[in-house]
Amino acid sequence: MPSRSSRRPQASAPPSPRQAKKSAAHPLPAPRHPLVGAHQSIAGGLSKAVERALDTGCHCLQIFTRNINRWDVSPLDPVEVEKFRHAVAAAGLALVVAHDSYLINPASADDTLREKSIAGLVTELERAAELAIPWVVAHPGAAGTQPREVAVARAADGIAEALRRTPDLGTGILIETTAGQGSCLGDTFAEIATLLARIDAVPGLAARVNVCLDTCHVFAAGYALEPAAELDATLQSFDDLIGLQRLVVIHANDSKKPRGSRVDRHEEIGVGEIGGEAFRLLMNHPRLAGIPLILETPKEGVDGKISPENDRRNLLALRTLVAGLEGDEPEPRR
């Protein structure tokens, strides 16, 4: 069973990106706050994601456990599973989460697609469990032309059904807040709360469903992240409606699009419309202490080339925003 204790790391100094560039045989020192990491590709094998995490100085990690653009999926190779589990343990990663396929839509009005989505969530949960991953981050789906309440009920029931079909797995679902692009559900804390309440009503499921807050998504959906009083109000609203104890992980992404745009375009930390000040407030907010942050920022730099330097730079940007860590002032990045 996933537990909140999994995101309470032991205190110790964070490694520099250079120190972090070690093989899995040399685990990272246990991190102090903040616990930061990034989504990493599994290209070349699942354990490659752990290598990439170490190479960039991540203390936590998100992966896709499959090709997210296809419905069909081949079973995990037991040798790869063993390699991955060993690499995670050796690396000392404090938390690994999976992200579900973008094809999955448990709210779908099409019964065939919805059943495929439920089965898809089951597959996600099973693969995560095999890999000893406690949580699968999942988007609640899109309403299409359905009335919103109908879609919300179908999404909640679909997620609940996937959890119900996997009673013995120690893996749960983190419903991700969304930007509300198109007819996507989950753009308000109230709607997430409605989804949770309906899932919680099924006996035994409440402990297996929690929340992932994506900073780009909530900002694009209209929530303010600065100044301090506005961030306090946003977090208070989250707490009143959902409960901050259900916030397991934060996706730390700046936004290419303005607040309230309802367009989901991730940007590097401090470079986008959210800006460095909001991230400084987030990183130092006492109500968010101990909650891991995972980057989903672009892997390509301004030159358009994919490089681990881009993750290293964004992880450092987050760390340097924390008071008392590696200098007080972040480098101006605009």
Q: Which residues bind Zn ion (CB under 5 A)?
A: 176, 214, 251, 296
CB closer to Zn ion out of 80 and 273? 273
Taking the complex as a whole, the smallest distance from the CB of residue 183 to Zn ion amounts, in Å, to: 16
DSSP 226-244: -SHHHHHHHHHHHHHHT-G
For residue 37, list its beta bridge partners: 60, 294
Q: Is the peptide bond before 134 cis (omega within 30 degrees of 0)?
A: no
CB closer to Zn ion out of 176 and 226? 176
Taking the complex as a whole, the smallest distance from the CB of residue 60 to Zn ion amounts, in Å, to: 14
By CB atoms closer than 10 A (0-12, 13-18, 19+), residue 230 is middle
CB closer to Zn ion out of 28 and 141? 141
Cα–Cα separations (whole angstroms), residue 131 to 47, 84, 134, 296, 314: 10, 7, 9, 21, 27
Largest Cα–Cα separation, the chain: 55
Taking the complex as a whole, the smallest distance from the CB of residue 256 to Zn ion amounts, in Å, to: 14
Which residue do the tokens 């989901």 mark?
A: 264
182-209: b (≥16 Cβ within 10 Å) or e: eebbbbbbebbbbbbebbbebeebeebb
Taking the complex as a whole, the smallest distance from the CB of residue 238 to Zn ion amounts, in Å, to: 16
What is the pairing mode between strands 254-255 and 266-267? antiparallel
CB closer to Zn ion out of 62 and 194? 62
Taking the complex as a whole, the smallest distance from the CB of residue 22 to Zn ion amounts, in Å, to: 28
Taking the complex as a whole, the smallest distance from the CB of residue 214 to Zn ion amounts, in Å, to: 4
Amino acid identity of residue 160, one-letter, is A
CB closer to Zn ion out of 24 and 293? 293
Taking the complex as a whole, the smallest distance from the CB of residue 99 to Zn ion amounts, in Å, to: 6
CB closer to Zn ion out of 24 and 296? 296
In three-state secondary structure terms, 136 is strand
Which residue do the tokens 């839509």 mark?
A: 105
Instruction: Enter the tokens of residue 274.
Output: 């959210």
CB closer to Zn ion out of 28 and 176? 176
Which residue do the tokens 């616990």 mark?
A: 35
What is the pairing mode between strands 95-99 and 266-267? unpaired
Taking the complex as a whole, the smallest distance from the CB of residue 184 to Zn ion amounts, in Å, to: 11
Instruction: Enter the tokens of residue 206.
Output: 């409440």
CB closer to Zn ion out of 251 and 313? 251
